[in-house]
């Protein structure tokens, strides 16, 4: 399998997408097609290699066949101009006036170009003049001139399409409708339909282009260049893609960090709002890890690069938001299917209206005129354009707020859920433990901290790290052998030849080590040497500032909130009480596999779906099992990013509420658009059959609905 990405040019007809998709899929070599109208990208999965020139000729033929003039370019061809003259400088307060861009290298195509706008204006003026001319024949000549000026390209395209067998395309239907109007003597109606259709198209295109721009701005995380410091000290500007691991880059005030790495010189404050939606500056110093996409608001820093651009945070975010369009929500799939049937059905109705009633009343020309109304409203454009745009806007907006949603389908599912399960450590609590107390067992002459530190030497667990980072004791790596980490329990190792166990009650039980009862609301880590308890370390973790608020907000939506933890009963219950959780909704002392079993249990009770929120450490199975898996505050953890459906880039549990609210707004806008668009079309059809609606009204309603639906969808983007 090979994947190829392309940039699409001159594609204006959203309704053509599924036809192009079908056409591409009918080619043997193409396995999978994804077209994103709003980022103008085409991704293909091919089942075998093909000469690049032949491939692009084949694809372009398909595009041009469905929408004449549209074509694609290889993505690389269009991104070669990456280092542009534009500066990457920003001011730290107003990052809205953006200079960097997610550079697809494409310009916005304006299908409605200047010439056709001028012709439209002149045609409309002539149309207006025709009202003052009473002499019928002259009036008609003038209207024909207006029609040609305004609609010549539509008629031209429709003839082109007939030759290709596309009888139901918009241009063809508009041509038939207007020619029909001429045929029954409604000259001014024919011209009016064309004028409104063109004006509608123009505004629709502008609205779509504005949305495209807003989306690009939302995704404008990528730096255009990196300042690479060469070994001789010279600094050169290169593309972020050219920087290698361990290279040193320099980031000045007002520049975005182009790649993930660690600070090796200087300290500064960063604006990470692009990544997390968090507007407070974030202080970093020597040795601090920094993420690409952050904006340097302080002094100059030197960074040792730790990840290639392809693996960097920024690239992952951009890819995630772009790929989100590939995971199509049910609403979008429905509309695509609906669109395939809608047009033929409406055209069928038009034929029935034209043929059946006149059999009874003989008034052929009247029914023919009424039938034309059906042709005018036969494009499902309003829905085909606005539904994907609604999802895309919501996902774009969410990413700006630090919530990365991997697909419209997840947004759709989140809207329905009735249960949220939080993991405790690192999710509701900060996961930053501090050692409160060290207890040494009676009659034991050991340094408990030293033994514990040796045990945790290699651990990545937040508890392990805090113990192993204690600076007061130095451990020699050579003294440590046979390290094993037992998830949900702790660690075992051999230190200076003695077996060591460091972990919770369950770990001690596993090794049959008897332990004393310790009454506390802290996390207890038992330490054993030579299979004998020698002491314990008591640690505490802090609740996150907005955990309580998050739980309250979720409860206000009637959502059932649970907390799961591997920690002990005392601590689980006391934290649960503090943040307002129901005692029965708290489960403690769970091993990772117990957590998964609990989620399954809760899932069985839930009627509409379960969200699991974890910090990504040992959480991958839980994230996958839940209907929606949300990883929080761990943008660095690759497993979490892969397993989760949504990634929350900052540490706030209240983002879950924000996400659910967004999904509800998304749904509301979708419903409005669908009901409104279909409602208006149905009314126009009924009024048309009854002879109340004119062609004027029909086109006005049709174009207006499409425009309003697109504007409604872009409302979400405006919020940001
Ligand atoms: P977790 O499922 O990762 O939250 O871990 C659950 C519990 O297992 C923790 O609360 C600790 O009691 C224990 N544990 C896990 N890993 C370690 C470790 N490296 N050192 C000590 N205890 C651990």
CB 508 less than 6 A from any atom of ligand 1: no
**How many domains does the structure of the chain reveal?**
5
Closest-lying ligand 1 atom to the alpha carbon of residue 460: 19
- Indicate whether 175 belongs to any domain: yes
Long-range contacts of 628-632, Cβ-Cβ distance < 8 Å, separation of 24 or more: 628/410, 628/413, 628/414, 628/417, 630/656, 630/659, 632/426, 632/427
CB 622 less than 6 A from any atom of ligand 1: no
Considering only CA atoms, which of 231, 404, 244 is closest in space to residue 312? Answer: 244
Whether 423 and 551 share a structural domain: yes
Q: Which residues pair with 41 in a beta bridge?
A: 7, 36
DSSP string computed for 270-291: EE-HHHHS--S-EEE-TT-EE-
CA of residue 8 relative to chain centroid, distance: 20
Per-residue pLDDT band at 110 (split at 50, 70, 90)? very low
Q: Which CATH number do you get for residue 635? A: 3.40.50.1000
Considering only CA atoms, which of 116, 113, 102 is closest in space to residue 7? Answer: 102
Whether 636 and 675 share a structural domain: no
Whether 413 and 560 share a structural domain: yes
Closest residue (by CA) to atom 2 of ligand 1? 488
- Indicate whether 619 belongs to any domain: yes
Pocket test for ligand 1, best of 428, 488, 568 (most atoms within 8 A of CB): 488
Q: Compute, in angstroms, the gap from residue 429 CA to the centroid of ligand 1.
A: 14
Give the pLDDT score at 172: 87
Give whole-number Cα distances, 334 to 16, 329, 337, 341, 633, in Å: 16, 9, 5, 11, 35
Domain final residue, candidates 494, 521, 540? 540
pLDDT tens per residue, range 433-472: 899 999 999 988 999 999 999 999 999 888 998 999 888 8
Per-residue pLDDT band at 25 (split at 50, 70, 90)? very high
Mean pLDDT of 198-220: 79
Q: Which CATH number do you get for residue 299? A: 2.70.150.10
- Indicate whether 529 belongs to any domain: yes
Whether 536 and 549 share a structural domain: no
Give the pLDDT score at 512: 96
Instruction: Identify the residue whose tokens are 């300290």.
Output: 267
Whether 644 and 567 share a structural domain: yes
- Indicate whether 614 belongs to any domain: yes
E strands along 424-559, which residues?
434-440, 480-486, 490-495, 498-503, 523-529, 532-540
Q: Would you state the torsion angle of the CA atoms of residues 143, 144, 150, 152, taken in this order, to the nearest 10 degrees?
A: 170
- Indicate whether 386 belongs to any domain: no
Among candidate residues 88, 423, 541, 627, the one labeled active-site is 423
> In the predicted model, is pLDDT for residue 610 greater than 80?
yes
pLDDT tens per residue, range 250-269: 999 989 999 999 999 999 99
Residue ranges making up the domain that contains 70: 2-80
Whether 262 and 337 share a structural domain: no
- How many residues make up the chain in this entry? 720
Give the pLDDT score at 717: 76
189 burial class (0-12, 13-18, 19+ CB within 10 angstroms)?
buried
- Most confident of the following: 28-37, 96-105, 552-561, 703-712: 552-561
Considering only CA atoms, which of 429, 409, 246, 224 is closest in space to residue 326? Answer: 409
Give the pLDDT score at 261: 94
CB 491 less than 6 A from any atom of ligand 1: yes
Per-chain mean pLDDT for the chain = 87
CA of residue 213 relative to chain centroid, distance: 16
Whether 191 and 339 share a structural domain: yes
Give the pLDDT score at 90: 55
Rounded Cα distance, 692 and 705, in Å? 19
pLDDT tens per residue, range 78-105: 443 333 334 455 556 544 443 333 333 3
CB 614 less than 6 A from any atom of ligand 1: no
Whether 126 and 158 share a structural domain: yes
Whether 558 and 641 share a structural domain: yes
Domain final residue, candidates 625, 649, 673? 649
Mean pLDDT of 640-662: 88
Closest-lying ligand 1 atom to the alpha carbon of residue 456: 19
Mean pLDDT of 362-370: 93
Rounded Cα distance, 597 and 549, in Å? 28
CA angle in degrees (0–180, nearest 5) for 517-520-521: 140
Helices 364-376 and 330-361, axial angle in degrees (round to 10):
170
Domain final residue, candidates 80, 101, 128? 80
Whether 509 and 586 share a structural domain: no
Whether 536 and 552 share a structural domain: no
Q: Which CATH number do you get for residue 448? A: 3.40.1110.10
Rounded Cα distance, 67 and 13, in Å? 7
- Indicate whether 388 belongs to any domain: no
Active site residue 567: no
**Distance from the first to the final alpha carbon of the chain:** 39
- Indicate whether 85 belongs to any domain: no
Q: Compute, in angstroms, the gap from residue 617 CA to the centroid of ligand 1.
A: 11
Q: Compute, in angstroms, the gap from residue 648 CA to the centroid of ligand 1.
A: 23
Per-residue pLDDT band at 640 (split at 50, 70, 90)? low
- Indicate whether 694 belongs to any domain: yes
Mean pLDDT of 288-306: 92
Rounded Cα distance, 28 and 161, in Å? 24
Q: Compute, in angstroms, the gap from residue 566 CA to the centroid of ligand 1.
A: 7
Whether 206 and 271 share a structural domain: no
What percent of the chain has a predicted confidence (pLDDT) above 90?
54
Mean pLDDT of 300-316: 90
Considering only CA atoms, which of 28, 36, 29, 50 is closest in space to residue 7? Answer: 36
Closest-lying ligand 1 atom to the alpha carbon of residue 423: 4
């Amino acid at each position: 399998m090979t994947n190829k990405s392309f940039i699409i040019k001159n594609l204006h007809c959203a309704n053509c997408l599924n036809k192009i998709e079908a056409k591409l899929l009918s080619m043997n070599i193409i396995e999978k097609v994804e077209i994103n109208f709003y980022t103008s990208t085409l991704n293909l999965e091919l089942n075998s290699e093909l000469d690049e020139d032949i491939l692009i000729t084949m694809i372009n033929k398909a595009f041009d066949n469905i929408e004449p003039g549209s074509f694609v370019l290889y993505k690389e061809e269009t991104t070669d101009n990456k280092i542009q003259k534009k500066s990457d400088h920003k001011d730290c307060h107003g990052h809205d006036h953006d200079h960097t861009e997610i550079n697809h290298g494409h310009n916005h195509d304006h299908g409605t170009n200047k010439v056709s706008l001028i012709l439209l204006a002149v045609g409309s003026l002539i149309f207006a003049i025709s009202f003052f001319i009473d002499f019928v024949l002259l009036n008609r000549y003038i209207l024909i001139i207006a029609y040609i000026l305004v609609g010549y390209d539509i008629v031209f395209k429709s003839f082109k399409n007939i030759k290709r067998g596309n009888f139901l395309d918009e241009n063809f239907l508009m041509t038939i409708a207007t020619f029909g109007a001429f045929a029954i003597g409604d000259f001014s109606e024919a011209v009016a339909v064309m004028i409104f259709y063109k004006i509608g198209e123009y505004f629709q295109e502008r609205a779509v282009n504005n949305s495209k721009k807003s989306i690009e701005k939302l995704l404008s995380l990528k730096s255009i260049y990196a300042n690479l410091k060469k070994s001789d000290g010279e600094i050169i500007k290169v593309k972020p893609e050219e920087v290698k691991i361990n290279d040193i880059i320099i980031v000045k005030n007002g520049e975005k960090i182009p790649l993930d790495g660690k600070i090796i010189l200087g300290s500064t404050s960063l604006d990470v709002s692009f990544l997390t939606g968090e507007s407070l500056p974030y202080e970093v110093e020597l040795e601090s890890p920094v993420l690409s996409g952050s904006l340097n608001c302080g002094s100059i820093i030197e960074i040792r690069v730790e990840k290639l651009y392809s693996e960097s945070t920024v690239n992952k975010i951009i890819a995630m938001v772009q790929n989100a369009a590939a995971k199509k929500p049910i609403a979008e799939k429905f509309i695509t299917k609906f669109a395939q049937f809608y047009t033929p059905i409406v055209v069928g109705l038009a034929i029935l209206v034209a043929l059946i009633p006149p059999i009874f009343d003989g008034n052929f020309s009247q029914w023919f005129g009424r039938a034309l109304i059906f042709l005018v409203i036969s494009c499902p454009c309003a829905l085909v354009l606005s539904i994907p745009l609604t999802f895309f806007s919501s996902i774009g907006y969410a990413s700006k707020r630090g919530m990365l949603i991997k697909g419209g389908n997840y947004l759709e599912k989140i809207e329905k859920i009735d249960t949220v399960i939080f993991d405790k450590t690192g999710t509701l609590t900060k996961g930053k433990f501090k050692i409160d107390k060290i207890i040494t067992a009676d009659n034991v002459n050991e340094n408990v901290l030293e033994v514990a530190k040796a045990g945790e030497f290699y651990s990545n667990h937040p508890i392990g790290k805090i113990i192993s980072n204690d600076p007061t004791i130095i451990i020699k790596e050579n003294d440590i052998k046979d390290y094993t980490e037992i998830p949900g329990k702790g660690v075992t190792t051999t230190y200076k030849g003695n077996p060591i166990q460091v972990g919770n009650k369950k770990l001690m039980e596993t090794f049959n080590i008897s332990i004393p009862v310790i009454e506390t609301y802290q996390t207890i880590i038992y330490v054993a040497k030579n299979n004998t308890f020698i002491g314990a370390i008591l640690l505490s973790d802090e609740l996150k500032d907005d955990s309580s608020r998050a739980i309250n907000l979720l409860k206000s939506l009637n959502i059932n909130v649970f907390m799961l933890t591997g920690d002990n009963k005392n601590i689980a219950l006391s934290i649960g009480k503090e943040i307002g959780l129901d005692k029965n909704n708290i489960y403690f002392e769970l091993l990772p596999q117990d957590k998964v079993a609990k989620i399954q249990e809760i899932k069985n009770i839930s009627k509409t779906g379960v969200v699991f929120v974890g910090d990504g450490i040992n959480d991958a199975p839980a994230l996958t099992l839940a209907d929606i898996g949300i990883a929080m505050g761990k943008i660095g953890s690759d497993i979490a990013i892969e397993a989760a459906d949504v990634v929350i880039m900052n540490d706030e549990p209240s983002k879950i509420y924000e996400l659910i609210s967004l999904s509800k707004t998304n749904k509301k806008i979708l419903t409005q658009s669908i009901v409104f668009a279909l409602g208006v079309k149905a009314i126009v059809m009924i009024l048309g059959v009854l002879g109340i609606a004119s062609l004027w009204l029909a086109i006005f309603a049709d174009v207006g609905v499409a425009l309003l639906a697109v504007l409604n969808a872009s409302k979400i983007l405006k919020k940001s």
